[in-house]
Chains A and B, each alone.
Chain A
Amino acid sequence: MGYTLDFGAVLTGEHLRWLLSGLRVTLELTASSWILAFIVGILLVLLRNSGSKLAEIGVAAYVEVHQNVPLLVQILFWYFAMPELLPEPARIWLNERNSEFILVMLALAFCFAAYISEALRSGLRAIPRTQHEAGRALGFGYLSTMRHIVIPQAFRAAMPPLVNYSLLFFKNTSLAMAIGVHELTTQTRQIENDTFRTFEAFAVATAIYLAISFLIMAAGAWLERRFTQEKR
């Protein structure tokens, strides 16, 4: 093929800075949407269990919508359509800041929240009623029973899907490229355009994604083990 590998072009100087800034944006995006997603996800679960039929249906609809519409479409909707729906002051506030980042972060967070709420819900459902009963029989009130007996077990049961979804949404930050956020994949393409070192650029980016994916899975496995030991 007459093509010599040259990782140096990709990993030095200006290109390295591009790469690292892309990585930074990816991580910022992941972290911020993850935190927001968990908050919203837990709220959704609480709403669903609140007893109100309307809340139950509302949350169910929320979950179904976010799970059956492609994430890219949701991102495009947030970026193109949502600003039209927001009041003027909000629009100005967004435009003053990094609106692309904020909007894609919101899109990721609200989609992820739906999956989190489902994982938590099935975790709760996995705990048999008898655990509740055992707690109450011992004299714990409703909230105490939840706090000491049910929720820790539910969380443990929900962990594998939660780790899986975390991994999924970390990878999905790459979709931010579609609206021009300079995360890792965007930067990789920039580098590739500049150096014509297509293979090296993508190899490095893939390696970075793989490394972080591996870290997330390892963290998940460690957490699962820790929780299992506590149960003894």
Chain B
Amino acid sequence: MVDILREYWLLFLVGQYPNGPLGGLTATILVAVAGLLLSLPCALILALARVSPYRPVRIAAAAIVHTVRGMPFLMMIFWCYFALPLLVGRPLDGFVTLVGALVLYESAYLAEVIRAGIEALPPGQYEAGRALGLDYCRTMTRVVLPQALFNSMPSLLSQFVSLIKETSLGYVISVNEFTFAAAQVNNQLLTKPVQVFSILALTFFILCFSLTQTARALERAILRKRAGTPESQILSTEADA
């Protein structure tokens, strides 16, 4: 296994670069980070829509979330593969499609995490803000969201781990991320699938496991800091496949 690593490490790490776009593990990490950074604001808006005082907004947001969560991520990737170039007006790179699909899909899941964080706060917090004369916007931005987002951090981190795992589906649309790079190495070697795919699995494991452990440590730290806060407000980490 070590020989394979020594021979093919560049392919694993950056794909065909510089003879092609940046690929491999680097691409996986870049796609995941881009996906997270772009979906957080969308998720925030969607979460606020989910708890909005206006019924049509709530219903529309619920419809979006339930539709996205009811379909496989692979299906979302195909939708983006075909529909995004049409919407934008020109052909799109596989990477863009993958990031787009991730953003659309993960926004719905992250929105639910944030929504749970908002709803876990005691209603008295919102009431106290309004009773002081703060309007809805100010109460949400100064009182509710800071607490809800802080309490949701372990869950958000956990969802980021799912996001990283989902990038592997780039393989199916031939996006040269880490899984695809490993499959390419396997195609070249042909006789060492166990070693190649073990490298793939092990790398993902190290990456995701360390993030999961960070999320758990974060959860414990938050519980300790908010010594006065009831545990029910801190959302526990629940991983997705």
Residues of A within 8 A of B (CB): 64-65, 67-74, 76-77, 80-81, 84-85, 111-112, 115, 161, 165, 168-169, 171-175, 177-178, 185, 188-189, 198-199, 202, 205-206, 209-210, 213-214
Contacts and interface: CB of A to CB of B under 8 A. Distances in A.
17 contacts: A65-B205, A68-B205, A68-B209, A68-B212, A73-B201, A77-B201, A81-B193, A81-B194, A172-B72, A175-B72, A175-B169, A185-B72, A185-B78, A202-B82, A206-B75, A210-B70, A213-B69
A70 B179 contact: yes
Contacts of A74: 201
B92 interface: no
B239 interface: yes
Given A80-B186, A81-B193, 19 more contacts: A64-B205, A64-B209, A65-B205, A67-B239, A68-B204, A69-B201, A69-B208, A72-B179, A73-B179, A81-B198, A115-B239, A161-B238, A168-B240, A171-B71, A175-B74, A178-B171, A199-B82, A209-B70, A213-B70
A85 B198 CA distance: 12
Specify which of A68, A111, A198, A214 lies most central, judged by the most chain B CB atoms within 10 Å of its CB. A68
B161 interface: yes
B85 to A, nearest CB: 11
A167 to B, nearest CB: 8
B30 to A, nearest CB: 17
Contact of A177 (B71, B168, B172): B172
Contact of B197 (A64, A80, A210, A214): A80
A73 B73 contact: no
A54 B208 CA distance: 24
Interface of B: 67, 69-75, 78-79, 82, 161, 164-169, 171-172, 179, 183, 186, 193-194, 196-198, 200-201, 204-205, 208-209, 212, 238-241
Contacts of A173: 72
Contacts of A213: 69-71
Contacts of A210: 67, 70-71
Contacts of A71: 165, 241
Given A174-B75, A202-B79, A68 B161 contact: yes
Given A85-B194, A202-B79, A70 B165 contact: yes
B183 A214 contact: no
Contacts of B73: 171, 174
A80 B71 contact: no
Nearest to B194: A81
Contacts of B208: 67-69
A84 B190 CA distance: 12
A199 B79 CA distance: 8
Contacts of A174: 72-75
Nearest to B164: A70
Contacts of A76: 171, 179, 183, 197, 200
A209 B197 contact: no
B67 to A, nearest CB: 7
Nearest to A176: B74
Specify which of B69, B193, B241 lies most central, judged by the most chain A CB atoms within 10 Å of its CB. B241
Which 10 A-B pairs give the minimum distances between C-beta atoms? A213-B70, A70-B165, A68-B208, A174-B72, A171-B72, A70-B168, A80-B193, A210-B70, A81-B194, A174-B74
B171 A72 contact: yes
A131 B209 CA distance: 34
A85 B240 CA distance: 28
Given A68-B204, A68-B212, A214 B171 contact: no
Nearest to B167: A70
A109 to B, nearest CB: 12
